[in-house]
Amino acid sequence: MIQDLHSHTYYSFCGKDAPEAVAEAAIAGGIDLLGFTDHNYGIGFQRVEMFYMDPKNFEGQDYGRCLRRYFDHINLIKEKYAGRINILRGIEICTLEGRNLSLPENCDISFYDYCIIENLDCKDSITGGDLFTYAKKLGCYCGVAHTDLFAHAERIGVDPLDYFKRMADENIFWEMNVSYDSIHNYRQHQYVLDFFQSPEKQDIVRKSGVKVSVGFDGHRVEDYLPKRVAEYCNALTEIGIPMPFENDFN
């Protein structure tokens, strides 16, 4: 199955296109399963000006309703394209401390199909590097976005195999971020290149039973490379590593 579980639309401040344009680019590129994952703060604040306001001016009001409206919109997109592509209603959760970036404490995202957690390995992450406690609190099917988890496990002094096993046990997947776009200066993720060049690392991940996703992390459709996404999905299948949602759609 060719899946892309990481994409952005005009709901993200850094995104550009309507969800329809993103869905149509994915259909044209032969993607079977597409997940929308706009940034929580883009969805929650809707307007850049709101995002930069002093938090005291709005106290996070309406944030939860914005999360719901985004979900409802993506749900309409899912229905509109049913039969042509499978669509998932996801969200990318920023965990950086600092004004307005992370998800407000009282916000519910448990109704989303999944979320991807970012900045886990940053020193100002509100997770404090503790993926498991944070994921449990979110109450949603979780993945870890664009993070070198081998390096992270080492940093916190845990054997990578044990770390991935625990992720598998707690039903958390790991993203291979294969973005290659103008927004990120055509930068590739070193941890992804390392992983696909290292049979040892692949072995550890395979043994652990953790699922691995592929995400292009697209921000504008003119940069989208669905062939690249397909190549990485096929590579995972070839080395016997399962992807999330693989058995849910046929």
Interface residues with Zn ion (CB under 5 A) are 92, 118, 217
Integer Cα distance of 63 and 44 in angstroms: 5
CB of 75 to Zn ion, least distance (A): 20
Integer Cα distance of 136 and 110 in angstroms: 10
Integer Cα distance of 243 and 236 in angstroms: 8
Contact 173, 212 (CB under 8 A): yes
Nearer to Zn ion, 66 or 91 (CB): 91
Nearer to Zn ion, 77 or 204 (CB): 77
CB of 127 to Zn ion, least distance (A): 14
Nearer to Zn ion, 32 or 217 (CB): 217
CB of 56 to Zn ion, least distance (A): 27
CB of 153 to Zn ion, least distance (A): 20
Integer Cα distance of 154 and 104 in angstroms: 30
Q: Name the residue type at position 197.
A: Q
Closest residue by Cα to residue 112 from 81, 149, 143 = 143
Nearer to Zn ion, 78 or 189 (CB): 189
Closest residue to Zn ion, based on beta-carbon distance: 118
CB of 200 to Zn ion, least distance (A): 27
CB of 199 to Zn ion, least distance (A): 28
- Name residues whose C-beta falls within 8 Å of residue 243's C-beta, 6 or more positions apart in sequence: 1, 3, 173, 211, 212, 213, 214, 233, 236, 237
Nearer to Zn ion, 8 or 78 (CB): 8
Nearer to Zn ion, 113 or 118 (CB): 118
Cα separations in angstroms, 19 against 11, 81, 88, 91: 9, 11, 12, 13
